[in-house]
Chains A and B, each alone.
Chain A
Amino acid sequence: MFENIFGIHEQALLLHGQRIGVLATNMANADTPNFKARDIDFSEVLAGTDDSARLAMSTTQASHIAMNNAESAGGELKYRNPFQASLDGNTVEMPVEQAAFSENNVRYQASLMFINSKIAELQFVIAGQ
């Protein structure tokens, strides 16, 4: 009953936490020549966590090794397409990064809020009052 109690938000929180690191890297390297901005494709990673979206491998014998794809979030870091190329080869565009950063911030807090209300809900049920 309790293994999937927070739904998608448990993974979403981890992913948004990682995305903050990626976006902070982009902003830290805003003045580094030849640095290429990267980002996480959230929808692709989300699709990767859904078992029905892929062909699952089943184990029919005891010696078979179970493939558990759900544990690692799929997808990879992708390079951002800049709106305008810059002479030093840097593809970081500060407004884009700042917008993505604040969006990610809100999403992180939303996931956190869902988890918090789930915990409050459970505490209410356990206390029975």
Chain B
Amino acid sequence: MSLFNVFNVAGSALNAETIRLNTTASNLANAESVNGDESKVYRARHPVFQTMMNTDEAGFDGQAAAVGVRVLGVVESKAPATMRYQPDHPLANKDGYVFMSNVNSIEEMTNMISANRSFATNVEAINTARDLLLKTIAMGH
């Protein structure tokens, strides 16, 4: 019964979007993090989504009709960390520089809105599938 697949598919998307929201929260929290060593400074993290093609469900006409999404991994941004001359800073290196994290707050905010919308859409899909299933179960009453 393919209607039950909607719960798996939309559920996997909810999980992936939650991870995306978590990385956004982590990035925003560390937006002002500084370090005296460029290699140790916080770098923005972003999840990489991938379609789960290896599903057991045969689905529509032999093709996997309902396939979910998963987070393949989390990559760190390669954008350069901003240098700031602050010789009085306790973490400043011997030349008087500190390195700021490369998090772009605006980018993170738009990412958060996008994840929020996707999450809401998938919740709606689950609600619809549930309503239809309940109506189908009540058939003939």
Residues of A that sit less than 8 Å from B by CB: 13, 17-18, 20-25, 27-33, 35, 38, 40, 72-73, 75-77, 94, 98, 101, 105, 108-109, 112, 115-116, 119-120, 123
Tell me whether A32 and B51 are in contact in the complex, defined as CB-CB below 8 angstroms, given that A21-B3, A24-B125 are known contacts: yes
Decide yes or no whether B95 CB sits under 8 A from chain A: no
Q: How far apart sit A32 and B117, CA to CA, in the bound complex (Å)?
A: 15
When A25-B9, A109-B135, A115-B139 are in contact, do A20 and B49 touch as well, CB less than 8 Å?
no
Contact in complex: A27, B3 (CB < 8 Å): no
Q: Chain A binding site: helix, strand, loop or mixed by DSSP? A: helix
Among B17, B121, B139, the one with the most A-chain Cβ atoms within 10 Å of its Cβ is B121
> Please, how many residues of chain B have a CB less than 8 angstroms from a CB on the other chain?
39
A112–B128 contact, CB under 8 A?
no
For B7, the closest partner residue in chain A by CB is: A24
Instruction: Name the distance in Å between A7's Cβ and chain B's nearest Cβ.
Output: 15
B132 — which chain A residues lie within 8 A by C-beta?
17, 20, 105, 108-109, 112
Q: A30-B118, A76-B61 are in contact. List 12 more A-B contacts (CB 8 A).
A: A13-B136, A20-B3, A21-B60, A24-B6, A28-B10, A28-B13, A30-B121, A31-B16, A72-B61, A75-B61, A119-B140, A120-B140
Residue numbers in A under 8 Å from B118 (CB-CB) = 27, 30-31
Q: Which of A24, A72, A120 gathers most chain B CB within 10 Å?
A: A24
**Cβ 8 A contact of B66, one of A24, A33, A75, A108:** A24
